[in-house]
Amino acid sequence: SQTIHQWPATLVQPVGSPLSLECTVEGTSNPNLYWYRQAAGRGLQLLFYSIGIDQISSEVPQNLSASRPQDRQFILSSKKLLLSDSGFYLCAWKSGRRTDTQYFGPGTRLTVL
Amino acid sequence: GQQVMQIPQYQHVQEGEDFTTYCNSSTTLSNIQWYKQRPGGHPVFLIQLVKSGEVKKQKRLTFQFGEAKKNSSLHITATQTTDVGTYFCAGRETSGSRLTFGEGTQLTVNP
């Protein structure tokens, strides 16, 4: 069966520090991968999606970037965090083009102080 | 671009009361999906509707897809405290390639 992992689960970082969040998927190959951000009590904001290795599409211009160095690994990064980067970061995957159903990881709760 | 709107944004009910959330799209959808996010948790897929006018049931939950495939609803009969959470709809427009999520309806149930 397929599983999706995210780490760390929680993170407290100072403003201006770098960020690296990791997401890995097991039990499937060539998944579509997504990064979402959720502010407290709000909806899901799509940040990046990827249909394959090194194929990243950005939905919202900001100081975040994403990379997919391996088929089942998706990384969200920042060189300098802003206060507004605080939120709940969710990684999700779906199986190619045959389905629209997305499966979410447990998320990383980021607080920027 | 495609917009998916959900109402209400918040709903507070007494345990045992019914609850309905509505989802409306600005464009015709290929399918509609519903997800549930428990407090502190991540969204979990509940169901997908594909056909015009489709109705599906999961125990006390009833999901409907409109005839024009532009709206959908989720109805919970006799809510329980375990129903607490945020319910999201998500749809892909017929000519599109990506899923668009609604803003969600946050349900609280008072025991």
For the stretch A28-68, pLDDT in tens is 989 999 999 998 888 999 999 999 998 999 988 689 999 99
Residue B94 has pLDDT above 90, yes or no: no
Tell which residue, A97, A106, A111, has the closest CA to residue A36.
A106
Beta strands B19-25 and B4-7, pairing class: antiparallel
Q: In which band, very low, low, confident or very high, does the pLDDT at A1 lie, cut at 50, 70 and 90?
A: confident
CB B73 within 8 A of CB B64: yes
Question: What is the C-alpha separation between B88 and B95, in angstroms, rounded?
Answer: 22
Q: Do B33 and A49 touch (CB under 8 A)?
A: no
Burial B19-35 (b: 16+ CB within 10 A, else e): bebbbbbebebebbbbb
Coil, strand or helix at B83: helix
Report how far residue A70's alpha carbon sits from residue A74's, in angstroms, rounded to the nearest whole number. 8
| The two three-digit tokens of residue A106, written as one number | 């447990």
Which amino acid does the sequence have at B61?
L
β-pair type (A10-13, A108-112)? parallel
Question: What pLDDT, on the 0 to 100 scale, is given for residue B84?
Answer: 98
- Please give the average per-residue pLDDT across A76-83, as a whole number: 96
Share of chain A above pLDDT 90, in %: 81
pLDDT of A4: 96
Considering only CB atoms, B42 lies closest to which of A49, A101, A104, namely A104
Q: Supply the pLDDT for residue A61.
A: 66
What residues of B are in contact with residue A106 (Cβ under 8 Å)?
41-42
Chain centroid offset of residue A84 CA: 16
Average pLDDT over residues B33-53: 97
Alpha carbons A16 and A4: distance in angstroms, whole number: 29
- What is the structure's pLDDT at A96? 76
Of B30, B43, B103, the CB nearest to A104: B43
pLDDT for position A21: 98
The verdict on a CB contact (< 8 Å) between A41 and B106 is yes
B45: nearest CB among A46, A101, A105: A101
Q: How confident is the model at residue A19 (pLDDT cuts 50, 70, 90)?
A: very high
Is the pLDDT reported for residue A79 higher than 80?
A: yes
How far is Cα A94 from Cα A106, in angstroms, rounded to an integer?
Answer: 15
β-strand pairing of A64-70 with A55-58: unpaired
Distance from CA of B45 to the nearest CA of A (A): 7
Residues within 8 A of A (CB atoms), B 65-94 only: 88, 90, 92
Nearest residue on chain A to B94, alpha-carbon basis: A100
Distance CA A10, CA A89 (A): 10
Task: Identify all chain A residues contacting B92, using CB atoms and an 8 Å cutoff.
Answer: 100
The per-residue pLDDT of chain A, averaged, comes to 94
Question: Are the beta carbons of A43 and B98 separated by less than 8 Å?
Answer: no
Question: How much helix, strand and coil, in percent to the nearest 5, is found in chain A?
Answer: 5, 60, 40
Q: Is B96 on the interface with A (CB under 8 A)?
A: no
Give the pLDDT mean for B83-107. 92
